[in-house]
Structure 1
Amino acid sequence: MTYEFGPRNNISKPVLNIPGHVTSNHSFCTFRPISPEEVLEEKAILESLAWPRYPSLQPNYSLINTKNPACGSFTILPRRGGGKWHIGDQLEVMIQIHDYLCRPKKYGGDVLLARLHTPALEAGVAGHVVDHLNGSYSAVFTLLWEGRAEVQVTLVHSSEAVEVLRRLTVKQPDRVNFESLFRSGSKTESTTCNVCLRPSRTPLCNFTDVRTGEPWFCHKPKNLGCESRIDHSKGEYTQNLRLDEEKLFVSDVNMKVHIHSSGPSDVNVTVNIKDEPNSTLSSVRWTPSGFYYRGAWRSLSGTAVRDFSPEQMTQCLKGKQVHLYGDSTIRQWFEYLLEVLPNVNKFDLHTQDQTGPFMALDQTNNIVVTFHCHAPPIRFGRSMTSEVRYIANELDGFSGGRDTVIVVGIWAHFSTFPMEVYIRRVMSIRGAVVRLLARAPETLVVIRTANVKALWLYETLTNSDWYSMQRDKALRAVFRGVDVRLVDAWEMTVAHHLPHNIHPEPPIIKNMINVLLSYTCPEQGS
């Protein structure tokens, strides 16, 4: 992850209320049962996600108390010992946030993104942000290419805005609801469904999955039985903000806005030809998962990433089955492969455009590519209940083997729910992955992380980058130590020059597929 809390470099730490447990309203949310070991693991993950708490906003609060990016600034710290910057050095930037009266803030909790980039080289890398909990932050970068590199710091949310987002999840985890249609003959009824259903006198239909234990409920129709449920769809969204809180979420004003430099915003990086020791200015040795150079993603995680032509893609996937599971950001991968692979054709399964499932075939080269969306909560249009299946159950049905590639990407549709809902879903998938790898160790399992996106009010309250950041960190924690490969969509979207988008632009998708295929067909010795 790209965030750390706590004092460094002798910066004093103020006393703040940092909760040890990030939770939600348990009174009307139901969670999948987990083992005692998983309970301890979940607690540790929740504690790792604890975010500095801004004092609760009062109904008559003023924007004077919130962040002013125009007054905030960042400063590039000089190289320790002086001299030129070299490839491999650690560059550190100090950031100071101010309020709307341009006074330095005295508490942390803001959401910042940082990247280093060189437009002429199509080069970019994400930075590691450290919150000193007193209004100041550090961004640490590893210098990875030669030439002039520019620092960019973006304020995603103020700490006050984060407090609103946190409160919404605590108090209104059901602010996005879902519907199901029940049908018997000519009779139809629709009712509200959710994993968080507020108490009412209406009886409930319990659709908890028998095998995984994942809970799901619908209000029972008045005149039909629970067994007559035929579909699932997104319902209504309820926005319940307090007075003036919308002012905390204004794009290019106090949300997704760049912070200016108080001096030079770039450095000149050279090759270390004098065999000088690399600078270690920062006490945090930050190694990103990769970086862009000339538009291509270069991994620093051990597997060399190659640029695959359509013909090379076909050769790599010859005789293989690629099964993609998740949300629309995984569906993008299916669509990309369908478009680029020269001999692959979509097999018409007569399913819904958003939810699938989909299948594509290259009969000549014996290639199969499928996509399945994950089970509720999924904020898609209408899908038949028979076609919406839990990923863990699907994985348990695979024999696996060296010709099987499994990709999982699940995060965006869980943003409005308690973290426990997401963590336990991912734990369930992990259990199925572990079982699959136990019976077929040569199976390749790839996990796609969350990514940053464009934000406006609705998107923020349902899919904020802060929500995604938290789930991204939880996803990595759950799969730590499991023999899976990672496509770091977070860093790949932060580091790229293209605008943030929940559905990354084609050049980013191309690089993600190159990573996937490099895992599938690694170079000898990599």
Structure 2
Amino acid sequence: MNRNLKTKLGKICHDTKMDWNKSKPVVKIPGHVTSNHSFCTFRAISPEEALEEKAILESIAWPRYPSLQPDYSLINTNNPACGSFTILPRRGGGKWHIGDQLEVMVQIHDYLCRPKKYGGDVLLARLHTPALEAGVAGQVVDHLNGSYSAVFTLLWEGRAEVQVTLVHSSEAVEVLRRLTVQQPDRINFKSLFRSGSESESTNCNICLRPSRTPLCNFTDVRTGEPWFCHKPKNLSCESRIDCSKGEFTQNLRLDEEKLFVRKVNMKVHIRSSGPSDVFVTSNIKDEPNSTLSSGRWTPSGFYYRGAWRSLSGTAVQDFSPEQMTQCLKGKQVHLYGDSTIRQWFEYLIEVLPNVNKFDLHTKKQPGPFMALDHTNNIMVTFHCHGPPLCFVGSLTSQVRYIANELDGFAGGRDTVIVFGIWAHFSTFPLEVYIRRLMSIRGAVVRLLARAPETLVVIRTANVKALSLYVALTNSDWYSMQHDKALRAVFRGLDVRLVDAWEMIVAHHLPHKLHPEPPIIKNMINVILSYTCPDLLS
């Protein structure tokens, strides 16, 4: 057992008189806590990891609202109808060319149409040409004075239109920040305990408020990932059989709901103060390609005629079902994550011509699932990642922490590991997420050390449609922070990314937690291009 983990658990045992000989001990009060989230339990990490975590949190720190305890009026908050953006002239003048940097200035105004004087708003920017099914995400820079820059790389010829979207006002972000600090348990979880004819359901979480009710400690022994449930009155901790998401508690202050109104001040476009498009020319006769991007801001890729074109070094090819089979012949593809990864499993078994789903008699949402093509020796599997992902009826016997699963693989050139883990961590302190990623990273490092030809692909977070409930539990702002943390944790490792964030921001289809089939097809093409880079060349 990890020495730090053993020391931490030993302290809990000493404080609560836990019995080391019991695999599922009962705890009287929550274990060791850190940070200012006084009733959350975090996985123990090394001093080096603690320094890294601190650096990551500082690097992604969001601008704070001017007052630590904001006393604002709604009329002082963002009114997209008054705000505007302006396309700045090309540096040096003249016509716009492929490879140029297009810069847009955005000014945010309040409901009295006065310019705001501070930053912290959440904006998205896209440049697109509907007729060409072309689109690219822009980089948004906060100048901390109510104005923002959006920077785009011009990548195709013709007329290209700028679109700037207000996701959240800075005041809304402050509410989301406060909720995570004060109410990280606003989504609770439940487990069913059963023995014979007797059963009982209790609340579970990483963050359980202090109580006289004894706790069952289900912290994973190998990874140290914490999970607790209130102990049933008449049953043992060992009688737990499942995990599911429970109730949502919404505790907003007066008028705060009005900060999260769709198409009013949440996920609404900002108008242009002048022309909203530019005309791009080029002396190059060929279609756009990855060699044309240069300058200060380089996106990970862009769409052209509906196909994703990577700017990160690996050319993305368009695979037919037969070519997909040829690429995956003799390979095993293991998918781990949430429902956005399950989408990929469902796409593969639908499109691959000879793959048949093997009936494991598991539930529709949590799985696990397996599909086989015996003729071509292809295997595709899906497993949910561990808590706090708890689909209804998720059996505890099927809980899979990604790090533990990776440690069980021999790996090799015929093994493809894909995972995505982000959406179910939004209500928790960022430390919970960062430490889970660090745990997975350790397993990835060990896997690549023993089998360096193993392909590891990570799916990033993505934007989605927002309602009040979604905003309070899985806002794009939360996803943006998690996306930055994920990239920081895995930076420098020999892994590949599917940039779901940019692939959805850049696309003309509406933002959705579960992207539409055309986007999924492009994502799968990215994975297959990593797997078989030379197949179609």
Please give the TM-score of this superposition, normalised by the length of structure 1. 0.93
Instruction: Name the counterpart of 1:458.
Output: 469
- Contact 2:243/2:390 (<8 A) preserved: no
Instruction: Name the counterpart of 2:114.
Output: 103
Q: Percent identity, aligned pairs only? A: 89
Match of 2:514 among 486, 493, 503: 503
1:77 corresponds to which letter in structure 2?
L
Q: Aligned to 1:490, what secondary structure does the other structure show?
A: helix
Q: Does 1:173 align with 2:196?
A: no
Q: Does 1:259 align with 2:277?
A: no
Q: After the TM superposition, which residues 55-204 of structure 1 pair with which residues of structure 2 at under 5 Å, given as runs? A: 55-56=66-67, 61-204=72-215
CA shift for structure 1 position 54: 1.0
Q: After the TM superposition, which residues 488-499 of structure 1 pair with which residues of structure 2 at under 5 Å, given as runs? A: 488-499=499-510
Q: Aligned to 1:369, what secondary structure does the other structure show?
A: strand
Matched residues in 2 for 1:263 and 1:379: separation? 49
Instruction: Name the counterpart of 2:324.
Output: 313
- Contact 1:326/1:410 (<8 A) preserved: yes
Deviation string, structure 1 residues 31-66 (Cα, Å, up to 9, x no partner): 000111100100000001211111458797421110
Q: Aligned to 1:98, what secondary structure does the other structure show?
A: coil
Q: Aligned to 2:194, what secondary structure does the other structure show?
A: strand
Q: Does 1:26 align with 2:40?
A: no
Deviation string, structure 1 residues 256-297 (Cα, Å, up to 9, x no partner): 0000000000000000469xxxxxxxx970000000000000
1:199 corresponds to which letter in structure 2?
P
- Contact 1:105/1:135 (<8 A) preserved: yes
CA shift for structure 1 position 81: 1.2
Deviation string, structure 1 residues 420-479 (Cα, Å, up to 9, x no partner): 000000110010000000000000000000000000000100000000000000000000
Match of 1:390 among 397, 401, 404: 401
- Contact 1:66/1:99 (<8 A) preserved: yes
- Contact 1:416/1:462 (<8 A) preserved: yes
Q: Does 1:206 align with 2:217?
A: yes
Instruction: Name the counterpart of 1:10.
Output: none
1:430 corresponds to which letter in structure 2?
R
Q: Aligned to 1:447, what secondary structure does the other structure show?
A: strand
Q: Does 1:522 align with 2:533?
A: yes
Q: Aligned to 1:130, what secondary structure does the other structure show?
A: strand
Q: Does 1:241 align with 2:252?
A: yes
- Over the residues paired in the alignment, what is the CA RMSD in angstroms? 1.6
1:385 corresponds to which letter in structure 2?
T
Q: Does 1:360 align with 2:371?
A: yes
Please give the TM-score of this superposition, normalised by the length of structure 2. 0.91
- Contact 1:24/1:418 (<8 A) preserved: no
Instruction: Name the counterpart of 1:447.
Output: 458
2:466 corresponds to which letter in structure 1?
L
Specify every segment of 5 or more residues in structure 2 that has no aligned partner in the other structure, as ranges.
1-33, 286-293
- Contact 1:24/1:169 (<8 A) preserved: no
Matched residues in 2 for 1:402 and 1:163: separation? 47
Across the two proteins, how many residue pairs are aligned to each other?
A: 496
Please identify runs of 4+ aligned residues in structure 1 that moved more than 6 A: 57-60
CA shift for structure 1 position 137: 0.2
CA shift for structure 1 position 27: 1.2
Specify every segment of 5 or more residues in structure 1 that has no aligned partner in the other structure, as ranges.
1-22, 275-282
Matched residues in 2 for 1:257 and 1:427: separation? 35
- Contact 2:168/2:266 (<8 A) preserved: yes
- Contact 1:306/1:518 (<8 A) preserved: yes
2:74 corresponds to which letter in structure 1?
L
Instruction: Name the counterpart of 1:376.
Output: 387
CA shift for structure 1 position 116: 0.2
Deviation string, structure 1 residues 188-210 (Cα, Å, up to 9, x no partner): 11100000000000001000000
Q: Aligned to 2:298, what secondary structure does the other structure show?
A: coil
Q: Does 1:430 align with 2:437?
A: no
Relative to 1, partners in 2 of residues 1:287 and 1:525: Cα closer, same or farther, differing over 3 Å?
farther
Q: Aligned to 2:336, what secondary structure does the other structure show?
A: strand
2:88 corresponds to which letter in structure 1?
L
Instruction: Name the counterpart of 2:280.
Output: 269
Relative to 1, partners in 2 of residues 1:24 and 1:240: Cα closer, same or farther, differing over 3 Å?
farther
- Contact 1:59/1:243 (<8 A) preserved: no
Matched residues in 1 for 2:329 and 2:68: separation? 58
Q: Aligned to 1:453, what secondary structure does the other structure show?
A: coil
CA shift for structure 1 position 388: 1.2
- Contact 1:25/1:171 (<8 A) preserved: no
- Contact 2:168/2:265 (<8 A) preserved: yes
Matched residues in 2 for 1:328 and 1:107: separation? 37
Deviation string, structure 1 residues 82-104 (Cα, Å, up to 9, x no partner): 10000000000000000000000
Relative to 1, partners in 2 of residues 1:273 and 1:447: Cα closer, same or farther, differing over 3 Å?
closer
Relative to 1, partners in 2 of residues 1:447 and 1:179: Cα closer, same or farther, differing over 3 Å?
same
Matched residues in 2 for 1:95 and 1:249: separation? 21
Q: Aligned to 2:492, what secondary structure does the other structure show?
A: coil
Deviation string, structure 1 residues 356-396 (Cα, Å, up to 9, x no partner): 00000001100000000000001421111010110100000
Matched residues in 2 for 1:28 and 1:223: separation? 25
